[in-house]
Each structure stands twice: as structure tokens, then as C-alpha cells.
């Protein structure tokens, strides 16, 4: 019961703030609503008993990436940007793409009820008390099975760091 | 845990909102933020299936996606700053140096 209430609160918050993020004219307002959407997603992660990912989402996404975004928004000239039209003249393209995607997802969700064994799995999830300690399990998997991927990800972050510095450096 | 369809629906809704943002907005920074929203929607799917199967691999993949999103934001925002220094604009349809 509590699970259900929490899910609907966080899901509603996520979808509402995502919609507001896309429709606000001011880029700073968009950034604030994206923060709300990401926090609501973190709540969904907690509701799914992924405690480690919940903390990572808040510290890294909300604390790190969004600060970077707001920093850049402040750095570029906001007053000039606000005067201009903020939406491209592609409303029809957006509508068609959104309808096509909705039809696809809707068909997937609808057809899974029709044909057992296909589409969405209907098996029951293990109860929360059966799960191992989350951070421990993630660490075991990350530094065991996925050690090579982990090292590659750290190299990727190093490359991104150097790339960002080179891009943003002043030409001399 | 609720039936998996709930999570898939939430994820699909966030994904579609993100795609609409990418297509309709002119400000490149907001387009990048919409891409973050799309990546986030994918993470919900991964974590939901990880919970459903009781396998932690989905959460590890979500971690990698978060790391990728961080790298993408850093490089993308660096490009935006460099472009803004040259052309004084952050609007996508005015970035037409290669178009003639």
C-alpha cells in the first residue's frame, strides 16, 4: 500500500516537472524543474530498493551535473536569449514523433496482456526482505563481473574532463 | 513492488516528454537537459527490471549511464561555451556554419 502511494506521488511529480521543464521559456526555470524531475526519479529508485543508485542520483545528477548546467546558463547571456523565440517551428514534427512513440509504447503495453509469454514479464518480484544489502551487491557486481567496463568508464570520464577543458579554454 | 507495467509507462512518458523537448526547443542548453531526461527515463527501466529479476546488473548499468551522462554534459557544455564565445548565440537554428 505504502509502496503504491509512494510510487504515484513520485511518478506524478516526475511527469509534471518534466512537462513544465519542456514548456518553460526561461532556461533557469527549466533547470530547476529538471532538478525536481531527477529528485522524483531518485525517489522511484528508493521505492525500487536501489539505495545506492538513489544516493548516486542525488549527489551526481542533482549535485554535480545540474550545478554545471546552471553555471553555464548563468555564463551565457540570459537577457539576450530571453528576448528571442524559445520554441522552434517544429510543432508538427514533434506531435507526429510523440504520437508515433506513444502508439509504439501503447501497443507494447497492450499486447503483453494478450499473448502470455511475450511482451512484459508478469513474474512476481522477490520481496524486499529477500534482497541482499544493496550497496554490497552493487559493489560485488561492479568490481567483479563488470570490472573492465568500470575501468573503461573511468577512462571515458578522464577523456571527457580533458575534452571539456580543451573546449572551454580561451584561444590564444 | 508494483507490476512492471507501471514503471514502463512512467519511463515511456518521461522519454516522450524528453523527445518533444529535444525537437521543439531552440536553446541548446535546454536540448541537452532534455537529453538528460531521456537518459534518466532509461535508468528507471533498468532499475525496475533489476528489481523484478532480483539481479543487480541493471543497477550497475544505470550507474554506467549516469557516468556517461556526466561525461556528455561536460563535453556538451564545453562546446556550448566555446560556440557562444565565437558566435554570441545558444540557439540551435543559428548554428549553421556548415550550411550554405
Q: What is the DSSP string of B23-82?
A: HHB-BHHHHHHHHHHHHHHHHHHHHHHHHHHT-THHHHHHHHHHHHHHHHHHHHHHHHHH
Residue B68 lies in a domain: yes
Reported as a pLDDT band with limits 50, 70 and 90, residue A117 is low
Cβ neighbours of A165 in B, within 8 Å: 78
Domain with residue B66: its CATH number is: 1.10.287.3510
The ipTM, to two decimals, is 0.91
Length of chain B: 100
Distance from CA of B81 to the nearest CA of A (A): 6
Residue B11 lies in a domain: yes
Q: So what's the pLDDT on residue A79?
A: 63
Distance from CA of A87 to the nearest CA of B (A): 5
Domains of chain A, by residue range, sit at: 1-90, 133-172
How many folded domains does chain B comprise? Answer: 1
Residue B100 lies in a domain: no
CA distance A100 to A94: 10
**CATH for the stretch A1-90:** 1.20.120.1200
Note which residues in 36-65 of chain B have CB less than 8 A from chain A: 36-37, 40, 43-44, 47-48, 50-54, 56-57, 59-60, 62-64
In this predicted model, what pLDDT tens digit does every residue of B23-80 receive, in sequence order? 988 888 999 999 999 999 999 999 999 988 888 899 999 999 999 999 999 999 988 8
**Predicted structure pTM score:** 0.88
Note which residues in 62-121 of chain A have CB less than 8 A from chain B: 64-65, 68-69, 72-73, 75-77, 80-81, 84-88, 90-91, 93-94, 97-98, 101-102, 105, 108-109, 112, 120-121
Reported as a pLDDT band with limits 50, 70 and 90, residue A1 is confident
- CA-nearest residue of chain B to A112? B5
Query: What is the span of the domain harbouring residue B13?
Result: 4-91
Residue B99 lies in a domain: no
In this predicted model, what pLDDT tens digit does every residue of B2-20 receive, in sequence order? 788 889 889 999 999 999 9
CA distance B71 to A164: 9
Residue B98 lies in a domain: no
Residue B97 lies in a domain: no
Amino acid at each position: 500500500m505504502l509502496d503504491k502511494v509512494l510510487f504515484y506521488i513520485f511518478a506524478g511529480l516526475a511527469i509534471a516537472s518534466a512537462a513544465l521543464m519542456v514548456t518553460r521559456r526561461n532556461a533557469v526555470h527549466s533547470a530547476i524543474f529538471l532538478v525536481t524531475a531527477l529528485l522524483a526519479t531518485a525517489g522511484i529508485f528508493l521505492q525500487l530498493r536501489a539505495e545506492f543508485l538513489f544516493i548516486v542520483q542525488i549527489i551526481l545528477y542533482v549535485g554535480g551535473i545540474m550545478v554545471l548546467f546552471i553555471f553555464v546558463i548563468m555564463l551565457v547571456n540570459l537577457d539576450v536569449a530571453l528576448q528571442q523565440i524559445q520554441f522552434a517551428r517544429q510543432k508538427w514534427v514533434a506531435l507526429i514523433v510523440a504520437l508515433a512513440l506513444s502508439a509504439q509504447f501503447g501497443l507494447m503495453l497492450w499486447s503483453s496482456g494478450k499473448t502470455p509469454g511475450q511482451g512484459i514479464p508478469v513474474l512476481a518480484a522477490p520481496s524486499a526482505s529477500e534482497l541482499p544489502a544493496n550497496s554490497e551487491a552493487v559493489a560485488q557486481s561492479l568490481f567483479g563481473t563488470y570490472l573492465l567496463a568500470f575501468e573503461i568508464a573511468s577512462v571515458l570520464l578522464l577523456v571527457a574532463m580533458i575534452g571539456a577543458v580543451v573546449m572551454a579554454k580561451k584561444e590564444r | 513492488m508494483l507490476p512492471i507495467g507501471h514503471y514502463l509507462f512512467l519511463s515511456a512518458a518521461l522519454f516522450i516528454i524528453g523527445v518533444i523537448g529535444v525537437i521543439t526547443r531552440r536553446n541548446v542548453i535546454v536540448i541537452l537537459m532534455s537529453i538528460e531526461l531521456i537518459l534518466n527515463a532509461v535508468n528507471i527501466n533498468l532499475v525496475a527490471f533489476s528489481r523484478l529479476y532480483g539481479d543487480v546488473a541493471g543497477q550497475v548499468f544505470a550507474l554506467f549511464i549516469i557516468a556517461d551522462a556526466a561525461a556528455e554534459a561536460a563535453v556538451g557544455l564545453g562546446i556550448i561555451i566555446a560556440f557562444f564565445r565565437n558566435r554570441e548565440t545558444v540557439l540551435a537554428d543559428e548554428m549553421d556554419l556548415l550550411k550554405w
